[in-house]
Structure 1
């Protein structure tokens, strides 16, 4: 085999490798962190203020897993106040597994979410609420077993 054939083989292998990479990259799902990224960026200062308010609470929001439910417990000082807000369960690896639900605690300040709504893996639990005219925001990284 002469050097001309070797160069042709190397070129063909290179072209086949490039086509493989292009094909794989075209089939890969890419989910953005937020569909409305620019609007969220404009609200960043409001989020920072709400996070500061949440950090001033006596205790943070507590999240625990039980057999069939995920339990979210609000601080005692929030239990007697009228709350409005929502919880966003954000799955960084797959946007199809994200979901939101309203913040509706029971009289003891607990919220229960069925474990069947989750897939095993890491979630970012983003809670935003308002109580007494003050906004609050807490984001917690949590691993669902």
Structure 2
């Protein structure tokens, strides 16, 4: 085999490799963090203020996994307050596994989420609530085992 044939073989292999990468990249699923960036940007300052309110609490909202239940525990000062809001489970790797729950804590300020709704992996748990006319926001990265 002469050197001309070897060059042609190298070019064909290179083209096949590039074609394979193009096909794989076209089939890769890409999820956006939010569908409407503009609306999210308009509320950014309000979100920053709500985060400051959450940091001013005596303790942050705790999240812990116990067996088949994920428990979200609010600090003691929030137990007597009437809270409204939602919990957003954001899965960065797959938007199909995202879901939202209304914020409905019990008398001890706890929310229980069944493990069957969560898949193993990383979640950003976004808590957004209002108590006594004051907005709060806390975002926590959590790994579900």
**TM-score, structure 2 as length reference:** 0.96
Q: How does 1:1-145 map to 2 (within 5 A)?
A: 1-145=1-145
Q: Report the alpha carbon displacement of residue 38 of structure 1 after superposing the two structures with TM.
A: 2.1
Unaligned 5+ segments in structure 1 are: none
- The separation in 1 between residues aligned to 2:57 and 2:138, in whole angstroms, is 11
- The separation in 1 between residues aligned to 2:18 and 2:73, in whole angstroms, is 52
Runs of 4+ that moved beyond 3 A: none
- The separation in 2 between residues aligned to 1:9 and 1:79, in whole angstroms, is 72
Unaligned 5+ segments in structure 2 are: none
- The separation in 2 between residues aligned to 1:72 and 1:107, in whole angstroms, is 13
- The separation in 1 between residues aligned to 2:141 and 2:52, in whole angstroms, is 18
Superposed CA RMSD in Å reads: 1.0
